[in-house]
Structure 1
Amino acid sequence: MGRLAELRRERGYTQVKMQMLTGIDQSDYSKLEREQRFYTFEQCRRIALALDTSMDYLAGLTDEKTPYPRGRR
């Protein structure tokens, strides 16, 4: 199981819930989980925010699930 599916299941979310949180169509989200499609930057950002993790973790650049501190905008 990939990181994306693992995180989603840890949070108790369905793919439909992820669609509601991210705006990414469920069928496209499913393809991302099965690694049949690559993330766009915006999709990765939305998923990281929804799953409370970092984009680096989703990309496999770190094993730390905890997101970076977010500064003021």
Structure 2
Amino acid sequence: MKNSRLVNFPEQLKELREEYGVTQTALAQGIGVSKGLISLWENGLREPTLSNLVALADYFDVSLDFLTGRIQD
């Protein structure tokens, strides 16, 4: 079984946020979490819950696979 950690997620989240021109504060308000939590995710210090991943994917209108940087063999 492969490591299931979200290795690419921090970079992907930050790139998406910057591409959309959204601040950490605005994103946090948009999905109902704290700005500090967004920062922790972007710095790879915490991993989001499934419900947070879904909220982020909905916010940016992307798939969970895209958001998490998942690559299928």
Normalising TM by the smaller chain, what interval?
Answer: 0.7 to 0.9
- Are 2:16 and 1:16 aligned? no
Where does residue 34 of structure 2 map in the other structure? 25
RMSD: 1.3
Q: What percentage of aligned pairs have identical amino acids?
A: 31
- Residue 18 of structure 1 deviates from its aligned partner by 0.3
Say how many residue pairs are matched: 62
Could you tell me how far apart the structure 1 residues matched to 2:33 and 2:25 are?
9
Task: Give matches, 1:1-73, under 5 Å.
Answer: 2-62=11-71
TM-superposition CA deviations, 1:20-60 (whole Å, max 9, x none): 11001110111011111011000000011111111111211
CA distance in 1, matches of 2:18, 2:61: 13
Larger RCO (alpha carbons 8 Å, 6+ apart): 2
Ranges of 4+ aligned residues in structure 1 off by more than 4 Å: none
Once the two structures are superposed, residues 4-30 of structure 1 have per-residue CA deviations (whole angstroms, 9 ceiling, x without a partner) of: 000000001000010111001110111
Unaligned runs of 5+ in 1: 63-73
SS in structure 2 opposite 1:31? helix
